[in-house]
Copies of this chain bind each other. A is one copy, B any other.
Amino acid sequence: MYGLISKMKTLPGQRDTLVGILVQGSKAMPGCIHYIIAKDIHDEHTLWVVETWESAQAHQSSLSLPTVVEAMARGQPLVAEVERRIETLPVSIASCN
């Protein structure tokens, strides 16, 4: 498996709009296991995206999907900075209840 944890700073007032774009763009991505979008509780401009993929290749391939290309084009202007982009190796992803 392959994982990404990204921290994005949005332009003021644009976080909800970016959430909508990311939700739309992440709907049908082969090989994607989780695509969690979460607002930072203590910083109103920060968004966290946690992705789990079957493989790094599956993630790489997704970047050329029309829905993803469009979402990135629409979302990028709303992002002031991608502050963190952490690559991970997920070792346990079981739902826990």
Name A residues whose Cβ lies closer than 8 Å to a Cβ of B.
3, 5, 19, 22-23, 26-42, 48, 50, 52, 86-97
Identify the interface centre among A23, A88, A94: most chain B CB within 10 Å of its CB: A88
Q: Could you say which residues of chain B place their CB within 8 Å of the CB of A27?
A: 94, 96
A interface, by DSSP: helix, strand, loop or mixed? strand
Asked if B96 contacts A37 (CB within 8 A), the reply is no
A3 to B27, CA, bound (A): 21
Asked if A95 contacts B34 (CB within 8 A), the reply is yes
Would you give 22 A-B contacts (Cβ < 8 Å), ordered by A? A23-B94, A26-B92, A26-B94, A27-B96, A28-B96, A31-B97, A32-B95, A33-B96, A34-B34, A34-B93, A35-B92, A35-B94, A36-B50, A36-B52, A36-B90, A36-B93, A37-B91, A37-B92, A38-B90, A38-B91, A39-B88, A41-B87
A26 CB to nearest chain B CB (Å): 5
